[in-house]
Amino acid sequence: MAAFLDMIIPGTFDNMSFKNLMNGLGVLGSVPLLLSDPRTRPFVEKYAKDADFARAMEKLNVYKVKVDNQGEVRRRCDAPNTCRK
């Protein structure tokens, strides 16, 4: 299942997504928490103003995302999980 994070331009994830969050246009139920939590609000504010963040997300897009059972959610980011099904 996939969901667009940008209601204005579906299929994109750039700093407009964060600008939309600041304007109350987030699509996930957890979004208000990002703005109300003093630990995460500065990141939303920063990324809303940061075009470099948008370019970085575009660069990451060249890596093909694994879907369904092709990949795994790592318990530690720096190493693959050891047990396989």
- For residue 3, how many other CB atoms are within 10 A of its CB? 7
Tokens 């987030």, residue?
26
Percent pLDDT > 90 in the chain is 2
Task: Encode pLDDT of 3-38 as tens digits.
Answer: 555 555 556 556 777 777 777 776 666 667 778 889
Domain boundaries, the chain: 15-60
Running DSSP on this structure, what letter comes out for residue 82? S
Q: Residue 56: pLDDT above 60?
A: yes
Is the model more confident about 14 or about 49?
49
Question: Annotated binding residue at 50?
Answer: no
Q: Residue 1: pLDDT above 50?
A: no
Question: Annotated binding residue at 37?
Answer: no
Running DSSP on this structure, what letter comes out for residue 52? H
